[in-house]
Structure 1
């Protein structure tokens, strides 16, 4: 199976009010992560009216992306069509797909585009199936549980999280004996 593992960093938690500040993605082809088939971009966020959004301090504290870092970044109007072309209708995987997929649906719709992956898979749900007695299923805990590590500075940055999510997806699928 050919899937695209992706992750977003945002200005907040609401797909309707908040913006996307970073998109990272990797392809998994025939059960192998293809590091050379990647998508990675900072994004200058805007609201529904097209006005520039600042990244609040509480979001900066999570992902470390500052307003200075995104000042000259391309807009979502530039980045999203490129990302949709990268996905190209493939199935997608994310850690907490309802969050990332919700942002993709809302922002694509706002720009007159369509978010229509072949399927959406969630590593949180897979983790709950693979480890039903465990209570925590956040990406840090899951990575530790599966013996995975984040690249230095990679945690809570889209591409760093994607690298771990892709490996976690493969290990979870193997553990659940489901072809990736």
Structure 2
């Protein structure tokens, strides 16, 4: 593992609570030596379960955001099947997410429930970097940040994990450059 290798990741979920809601999709890509390595990606749908492992339906309000339906995840693996593999894929590297508190919170809660450890080398947040790079701006959501940096989402990519990850990775690199921090 290179010291200049990080993982940018994004989750789609059934709601906002890491303690009550479930992950329905994980997308990630590695950034190696300051460049997005599209061939080093992780992408999977996840069949949602309650914290005690019972099947969970995806609420309509969550489906409206990300478009992931119960039918789409019917044959997908559960978080218990996916998370050990994903943690191995991350491998202790530093991670980046847009609003790391949200995504990291879901990772910590699920790892804890499964007796695993969410232990990245560091957790970096593109929302916080955006606030530092653009202190006079009020909005720092991913759509606004992408527009501000001249980035576009692939068709159907917004609010799907890998589509958001592709933009977040590019935003991270641009923000680090704007802030004159070595990526």
The normalised TM-score by structure 1 is 0.99
Match of 1:125 in 2: 128
Aligned length in residues: 180
Deviations 1:67-108 (A, max 9, x none): 100011011111111110110000000000000000000001
C-alpha distance after superposition, 1:6-49 (max 9, x if no partner): 00000000000000000000000110000000000000011111
Uncovered stretches (5+) of structure 2, i.e. residues with no partner:
none
Residue of structure 1 in register with 2:96 after alignment: 93
Alignment partners' CA distance in 2, 1:89 and 1:44: 25
Unaligned runs of 5+ in 1: none
Give the aligned partner of residue 51 of structure 1: 54
Superposed counterparts of 1:1-180, under 5 Å = 1-180=4-183
Where in structure 1 do 4 or more consecutive aligned residues deviate above 6 Å? none
**SS at 2:162's partner residue?**
helix
C-alpha RMSD of the superposition: 0.4
Kindly provide the CA deviation profile for residues 133-164 of structure 1, in whole angstroms up to 9, marking residues without a partner as x.
00000000000000000000000000000000
